[in-house]
Structure 1
Amino acid sequence: MAIDPFGTTTTSTTTTSASSSMSQLSEDYESFITLLTAQIENQNPLEPMDSTTFISQLAQLSQVEQSVATNSNLEGIASQLASMGAITGLSLIGRSVVAATDEVTLESDGASAELSYALASDAASVTMTITAEDGTVLRTYTGLETSSAERQTVTWDGMDYEGLPLPAGSYTVSVEALDTDGNTIASQTYAPAKVASMTYEDGLATLHLENGDTVLAGAVEEIL
């Protein structure tokens, strides 16, 4: 299951937002024209609208009209970008990608796997633990890189702590990062997985991985 330990969840709503803004501006534009027309029709002939005020209102109308046109163009660009994302997502089916997850898969008995992690801030100590589905600890890596400057890589040889090769299957990986005071630092683990299929939902290309995770095509860290 993909996790977000840094406490932030980013969801792209570009297409929806563009459509909402376009609809609102169109309504404002129509309302402005209606009100301006009614004002002109019902003005007192003996006290006509001040020309300065009228020009100011026309300028406002022009600004709203330009905003409508701008948002229409932006909506078209957003749709084109979403379509490009869908095409990119389709090209990833059958390929392995690296994405945020707490699951790692061994493709065959005794196979190795390249894991990685990222830290929210620099740590004093970092430990990675690999466990079986029932929670049994299989392997522990200590003294890992403590820098948060980039994603750090750890190669698991596919063996347990006794040096015995493990069977093909899915395992859980976790990282514990501590600062100098022993406080936990937020971390995120990553592992490769094959893309089984893709769906296009709410204008977003969502990849369905063979390990059961789902990830947005734009959230893929690396393509193998």
Structure 2
Amino acid sequence: MVDAVTTTTNNATDRIAAGSGMLASNFETFLALLTSQLKNQDPLSPVDSNQFTAQLTQMAGVEQQLLTNELLKSLVSTQAGGDLAGAATYIGKEATAAWSATKMAGGEASWSYELGANAASATLQVLDGSGNVVWSGDAPAKTTGMHDFTWDGEATTGNDGQDGQVYTLKIVARNATGGAVDAQVLTRGRITGVEMYEGEAFLTVGNSIVPLSTVIALEEARAPSEDLAA
């Protein structure tokens, strides 16, 4: 949905800009021709007043169209700013996003995963930025619901993880008969920042930057005392 709105907004801005350029060029040409016509008119046969009025009306119409296009550009720009302001209201909340990429920090990379049913087997894979599997192993929990997983950066194939690099988690879960179990990788954490990229709002959640469109749940952040009680 956000992608469609972003594309539509960008296309509208481009069309408005192109139209404004064409109208401005035509407006300047129109003024030059009208001025030349007035300068070179025959004193014994001046421009018909009705024709002159019609030309002035056309010129006013072009000028009005230019002003309208500038207003539309302003409205489009204001909408983009409103998207950022709206996303900023999420700062401080706890978010859950259907997003599998995160940055390693402090020698660790963390994700959550959710299973739609109990699984007989569940395999996790950590992929580097090039799509290569650098770690593979059993999921720590295979019961229905949401679970957390932290990779310590130690590779089973290829190079060990490095701080600052982005890694992606994948999960494959199966039931006792070998059928696929619904599963998804999630990013969970407190929203600490918002930024706009190509017209779309992105949220900083822990060590991940996730598109607002991937957020599937929001909760009020718990106070430290509540965390201790839990």
Q: What TM-score do the two structures reach when normalised by structure 1?
A: 0.50
Larger helix fraction of residues: 2
Bigger radius of gyration: 2
Q: With CA pairs under 8 Å and 6+ residues apart, which has the higher RCO, 1 or 2?
A: 1
